[in-house]
Homo-oligomer: A and B are copies of this chain.
Amino acid sequence: MRLTTKGRYAVTAMLDLALHEGQGPISLADISERQGISLSYLEQLFAKLRRNTLVKSVRGPGGGYQLNHDKQAISVAQVVDAVNESVEATGCARQGDCQSGETCLTHHLWCDLSDQIHSFLHGISLADLVLRKDVKDVANRQDRRHGSQVFLTTADSLLADKAAV
């Protein structure tokens, strides 16, 4: 099992798409600038996300990427899985043949751990993240800094202004 910037980048980029939903296709250049991720690396990640039908692309000027499903229907676990970062703690892919064909001493422990992690990440959708206060705060900071027009509710604006002071 491993969780590195690869999976974190993927989730961050997908969340960026979710945050700017309704603004048409979002280019990778925008995401790269806002989230501080290398453009070429983003391309590779989005190739996998597209193959897993999590996003759809529009080519040409004004093009970019959009979520292919509803925010609520995309879980963090799906995104992490899509870029090949398995959230699987066993070494035998749950087969139980960890020790030369037989079950190793700690097999079930790692199965339990895998279940924990998977159900945790599966229970969080992009929509859930968009609603979180800490996410909103960071998103507003990023949008202000990179000159994107954001659609804030009055309440959100007041909160953001307060946070900025």
Chain A positions within 8 Å of B, measured between CB atoms, are 1-5, 8, 11-12, 15-16, 35-36, 76, 89, 91, 99-100, 102-110, 113, 116-117, 120-121, 124, 129, 132, 134-135, 138-139, 141-142
Report the copy number of this chain in the oligomer.
2
CB distance from A135 to the nearest CB of B (A): 6
A113 x B117 contact (CB < 8 A): yes
Shortest A54–chain B CB gap in Å is 16
Q: Is the CB of A107 within 8 A of B121?
A: no
Enumerate 14 A-B pairs (CB-CB under 8 Å) in ascending A order: A2-B4, A8-B91, A8-B104, A8-B110, A12-B106, A15-B106, A35-B104, A76-B109, A105-B135, A106-B129, A106-B135, A107-B134, A108-B135, A117-B117
- Chain B proximity of A102: nearest CB distance (Å): 7
In the complex, what residues of B have CB within 8 A of residue A1's CB?
1-4
A11 and B106 form a contact (CB under 8 A): yes
Quick check: B109 and A11 within 8 Å, CB to CB? yes
- Nearest CB of B to A46, in Å: 16
Inter-chain pairs besides A1-B3, A15-B106, A117-B117, 17 sampled, C-beta below 8 Å: A2-B3, A5-B91, A8-B91, A8-B110, A12-B106, A35-B105, A36-B99, A36-B104, A102-B138, A103-B134, A105-B138, A105-B139, A106-B135, A107-B138, A108-B134, A116-B116, A116-B117
